[in-house]
Structure 1
Amino acid sequence: MTEQLNSFFAAMSDPTRRAVIERLANGPASVSELHAPHAMALPTFMRHLGVLEKAGIVRSIKKGRVRSCHLAYEPLIEAQGWLAWQRHLWERRPEAAPL
């Protein structure tokens, strides 16, 4: 597994980060908008965004005082490809149950 895949799956292990990704699937959003539904301090939330950015899943752009975030699809596509490959291997096993 590549380092990018390792970072992707580590980032996806947290429900807050998954919620951010689900929101960004609808389009870009400001950090304030992303933070609003989460009952945590802004510095804590920013650490979650930092994990997503380090994994390459989220990119941010600062314009003036507003930082906007958007999804970067490359890591999602790589993870999807890896999961599809794994599923193919599992389904070829004689003892595999149909999905």
Structure 2
Amino acid sequence: MEKPRLILKAEYELYKAALKNDIYFKERKTRSRLNLFTDRMLDEKNYTRINKLKTNKKLYKRRTDKSERLYRYNKNKISELYCKKEVQQWLNSN
């Protein structure tokens, strides 16, 4: 990594003009235009490629074992019973 260095005003103006005229920053970076900038793209550790596109989506699947499936089943069953009970109470009150 480079350390900061002192530059002259004229050098700053040159860099600023070059940045202003750079097409990378002028227009939106659509997927079809990204191939123009492949030399500028960095391979970052937290990014992966899905269908040749750079993305930061996680690709891992969470492992489900028998106890977790049983927990979800029981949780859904309890919520279903609770909802039925609420509906019955509402129907009986009218």
Name the TM-score class by shorter chain: under 0.3
Please identify which structure carries the higher helix content: 1
Please identify which structure carries the higher strand content: 1
Q: TM-score, normalised by structure 1?
A: 0.23
More relative contact order, 1 or 2 (CA 8 Å, 6+ apart): 1
Q: TM-score, normalised by structure 2?
A: 0.24
